[in-house]
Amino acid sequence: MPTIVHIDIASDDPERAKQFYESLFGWKSFAPPGMTDFYLVETESLDGSRGVGGGIGRRGDPSQKITAYIGVDDVEAYGKQVEALGGKVVAGKMIVPGWGYLSVCEDTEGNPFGLWQDDSSAGS
């Protein structure tokens, strides 16, 4: 199955967005030399291997958004963390029978993103 290979996160406050994702998922981000209001992002998958990379930068257009599903071990627990960090759970835990669970959230910048939990026994 194809996987996400890069994400761009548009933000009104790149530092605030950086702090949100670092606190929620443990992502590592850094500002490249000579760049302001932009961070490169490095992630790891649940098994510790290198994950999707991307960037967090200032929103260029008011309609600029991202949506990417992020694999977690517990959709509900992460939903609580989303809210504790100032984000929103837009659609709570939903079952995808035989596949797993998903939830749709919004970060502190108003960007939509999804949480995905693999579980082949979901719905049985």
Q: Give residue 4's pLDDT.
A: 67
Place of tokens 């981000």: 29
Q: Give residue 7's pLDDT.
A: 84
pLDDT tens for the chain, residues 1 to 124: 335 656 889 999 999 999 999 999 999 999 988 888 899 999 988 899 988 888 899 998 887 788 688 899 999 999 999 999 999 999 999 998 998 999 989 999 998 888 889 899 998 8
Residue 10 belongs to a domain: yes
Q: For the chain, what is the domain count?
A: 1
**Within a 10 A sphere around the Cβ of 3, how many other Cβ atoms?**
9
Spatial strand order in the sheet of 69-71: 69-71, 112-118, 100-106, 88-96
Residue 1 belongs to a domain: no
pTM value surpassing 0.75? no
Q: Structural domain of residue 89, as residue ranges? A: 6-118
Q: Which two tokens stand for residue 99?
A: 């596949």
